[in-house]
Structure 1
Amino acid sequence: MSHTGAEAVAPYEQALDDLLFFRPRVAESARSVLDAAPRSVMGQVLAAYLGVLGTEEKDAVAARGGFGRFRSGLDTEDLTPRERMHLAAATAWLDGDLRGAGRLLGEIGIAFPRDALALFAGHQHDFLTGDAQRLRDRIGGALDAWPQDDPHLGPLLGMYAFGLEESGHYAHAEEVGLAALDRHPGDVWGIHGVVHTYEMRGRFTDGIRFLDARQQDWASGSLLTVHNWWHYALYSLESGDTARVLEIYDAALHHEASAGVAMELLDAAALLWRLYLAEDEQSARWARLADAWESRDDGPYYAFNDAHAVMAYVGAGRIARAERLVQEREDWLVGEPAVDNRAMTAVIGLPVCRALIAYGRRDHARAVDLLLPVRHRLHEFGGSHAQRDAIQRTLVEAALCAGRAELARTLLSERSRLRPLCPYNWSAKARLEERFGDPARAAAARERAAAQASGRA
Structure 2
Amino acid sequence: MTADRHGHLMSDTSAEALASYEQALDDLLFFRPRVAESAQAVLAAAPRSVMGQTLAAYLGVLGTEEKDAAAARDSFARFRSGLDTVGMTPRERMHLAAATAWLDGDMHGAGRILGDLTIAYPRDALALFAGHQHDFLTGDAARLRDRVGGALDAWDEDDPHHGPLLGMYAFGLEESGHYERAEEVGLAALARHPGDVWGIHSVVHTYEMRGRFTDGIRFLDARTDDWSRGSLLTVHNWWHYALYTLETGDTARVLEIYDAALHHDGSAGVAMELLDAAALLWRLYLAQDAQDAQDARSEQHAQHERHDQSARWARLADAWESRDDGPHYAFNDAHAVMAYVGSGRLAQAQRLVQDRERWVAAEPSGSNRTMTAEIGLPVCRALIAYGQHDYGAATDLLLPVRHSLHRFGGSHAQRDAIQRTLVEAAIRARRTELARTLLSERIQLRPVCPYNWSAKARLEERGGDPVRAAAARERATAQRQSG
Q: TM-score, normalised by structure 1?
A: 0.99
Of 335, 340, 351, the match for 1:308? 335
Query: What is the CA–CA distance in structure 2 between the aligned matches of 1:425 and 1:186, rounded to whole Å?
Result: 34
AA aligned to 1:376 is H
How far residue 437 of structure 1 moved from its aligned partner, in angstroms, is 4.2
1:65 aligns with 2:74: yes
Helix, strand or coil at the partner of 2:86: helix
Query: What is the CA–CA distance in structure 2 between the aligned matches of 1:68 and 1:4, rounded to whole Å?
Result: 19
Query: What is the CA–CA distance in structure 1 between the aligned matches of 2:191 and 2:15, rounded to whole Å?
Result: 33
1:24 aligns with 2:51: no
- Per-residue CA deviations over 1:371-415 (Å, capped at 9, x if unaligned) read 000000000000000000000000000001111110110000000
Query: What is the CA–CA distance in structure 1 between the aligned matches of 2:263 and 2:418, rounded to whole Å?
Result: 21
Query: What is the CA–CA distance in structure 2 between the aligned matches of 1:420 and 1:334, rounded to whole Å?
Result: 43
- Per-residue CA deviations over 1:263-296 (Å, capped at 9, x if unaligned) read 0000000000000001264100000000000000
State the identity as a percent.
83
- Per-residue CA deviations over 1:155-210 (Å, capped at 9, x if unaligned) read 00000000000000000000000000000000000000000000000000000000
Instruction: Tell me which residue corresponds to 1:390.
Output: 417
Query: What is the CA–CA distance in structure 2 between the aligned matches of 1:7 and 1:181, rounded to whole Å?
Result: 31
AA aligned to 1:406 is E
Query: What is the CA–CA distance in structure 2 between the aligned matches of 1:149 and 1:368, rounded to whole Å?
Result: 52
1:414 aligns with 2:423: no
How far residue 438 of structure 1 moved from its aligned partner, in angstroms, is 1.7
Matched pairs, number: 456
Of 374, 377, 381, the match for 2:408? 381
Query: What is the CA–CA distance in structure 2 between the aligned matches of 1:35 and 1:343, rounded to whole Å?
Result: 38
Instruction: Tell me which residue corresponds to 1:79.
Output: 88
Query: What is the CA–CA distance in structure 2 between the aligned matches of 1:337 and 1:430, rounded to whole Å?
Result: 47
How far residue 138 of structure 1 moved from its aligned partner, in angstroms, is 0.2
Helix, strand or coil at the partner of 1:325: helix
How far residue 77 of structure 1 moved from its aligned partner, in angstroms, is 1.1
AA aligned to 2:421 is T
1:349 aligns with 2:376: yes
Which consecutive segments of 4 or more residues in structure 1 shift more than 3 A? Answer: none
Name stretches of at least 5 consecutive residues in structure 1 with no aligned partner.
Answer: none
Name stretches of at least 5 consecutive residues in structure 2 with no aligned partner.
Answer: 1-9, 289-304
1:38 aligns with 2:65: no
- Per-residue CA deviations over 1:350-388 (Å, capped at 9, x if unaligned) read 000000000000000000000000000000000000000
Query: What is the CA–CA distance in structure 1 between the aligned matches of 2:72 and 2:464, rounded to whole Å?
Result: 57
1:133 aligns with 2:134: no
Of 355, 359, 372, the match for 1:332? 359
Query: What is the CA–CA distance in structure 2 between the aligned matches of 1:278 and 1:338, rounded to whole Å?
Result: 38
Query: What is the CA–CA distance in structure 2 between the aligned matches of 1:68 and 1:395, rounded to whole Å?
Result: 43
Instruction: Tell me which residue corresponds to 2:347.
Output: 320
Instruction: Tell me which residue corresponds to 1:364.
Output: 391
1:258 aligns with 2:267: yes
1:434 aligns with 2:461: yes
Query: What is the CA–CA distance in structure 2 between the aligned matches of 1:66 and 1:221, rounded to whole Å?
Result: 28
Query: What is the CA–CA distance in structure 2 between the aligned matches of 1:148 and 1:266, rounded to whole Å?
Result: 36
AA aligned to 1:60 is A
Helix, strand or coil at the partner of 1:278: helix
Query: Please, what is the CA RMSD of the aligned residues?
Result: 0.7
AA aligned to 2:166 is L
Instruction: Tell me which residue corresponds to 2:451.
Output: 424
Query: What is the CA–CA distance in structure 1 between the aligned matches of 2:188 and 2:465, rounded to whole Å?
Result: 47
